[in-house]
């Protein structure tokens, strides 16, 4: 029996996009996967900003060895000068506090067990700052810094914490993105195409495995060559 067959994962935003692709890929490895999503059909249908519910979630699950926090929203696609305070609070609550609260809830058992893998989702926007997406870009930059901090805090525990930074990927999150914006973002990618969710899931699965042993607090770009640093 492989080590994977005895491991259990939790994926937030697990019913669509990068989260769903990750769930499929981890299950192919024989990993038992539970999903959290605001949509019907998740193992735990809940809002990631329900911080009391998040804190209680570990008591409703077997020990979680792998945590993937893919729940997130893009938020308004407007210039910074048109943004409003509530829009900032909503996107930060979901993208940043939602990520931090799950790590806070599930990392302790991983530390106690001496093994764990945590993968968060950032974005190329965290590095480049996409115009008219100041809120989203700022939240994803915060996820990068959060991941680096926690990775250092847990570096000697056997729990590795890394983040992936995709360029634009073909997911439901981008279904409302205008053709003009998608064309501009695609033009920034040297491969001249947008990515596929399955390609990102392959990287995530690797980061969740024993094959990664000397990397934590790192940012893994998956951008078709767009990343410059």
Cα gap 171→125, rounded to integer Å: 16
**Rounded Cα distance, 116 and 107, in Å:** 8
Closest CA to 105 of 149, 51, 155, 184: 51
Question: Which distant-in-sequence residues (6+ apart) come within 8 Å of 102 by Cβ?
Answer: 10, 12, 48, 54, 67, 69
Catalytic residue of the set 34, 102, 136, 220: 136
SS3 category, 210: coil
220 is a catalytic site residue: no
What are 9's strand-pairing partners? 33, 66
Residue 199 tokens, joined:
């390609």
Catalytic residues: 136
């Amino acid at each position: 029996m492989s080590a994977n067959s005895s491991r259990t994962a939790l994926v937030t935003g697990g019913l669509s996009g990068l989260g769903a692709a990750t769930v499929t890929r981890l299950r192919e490895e024989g990993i038992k996967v539970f999903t959290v999503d605001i949509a019907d059909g998740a193992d735990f249908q809940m809002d990631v900003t329900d911080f009391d519910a998040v804190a209680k979630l570990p008591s409703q699950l077997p020990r979680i060895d792998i945590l993937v926090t893919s729940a997130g929203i893009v938020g308004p696609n407007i210039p910074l000068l048109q943004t409003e305070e509530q829009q900032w609070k909503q996107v930060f609550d979901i993208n940043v506090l939602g990520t931090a609260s799950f790590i806070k809830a599930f990392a302790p058992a991983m530390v106690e067990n001496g093994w764990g893998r945590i993968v968060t989702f950032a974005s190329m926007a965290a590095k480049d700052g996409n115009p008219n997406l100041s809120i989203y870009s700022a939240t994803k930059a915060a996820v990068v810094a959060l991941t680096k901090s926690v990775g250092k805090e847990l570096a000697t525990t056997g729990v590795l914490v890394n983040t992936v930074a995709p360029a634009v990927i073909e997911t439901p999150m981008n279904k409302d993105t205008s053709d003009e914006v998608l064309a501009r973002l695609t033009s920034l990618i040297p491969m001249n195409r947008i990515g596929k969710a399955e390609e990102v899931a392959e990287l995530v699965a690797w980061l969740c495995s024993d094959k990664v042993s000397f990397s934590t607090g790192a940012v893994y770009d998956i951008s078709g060559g767009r990343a410059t640093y």
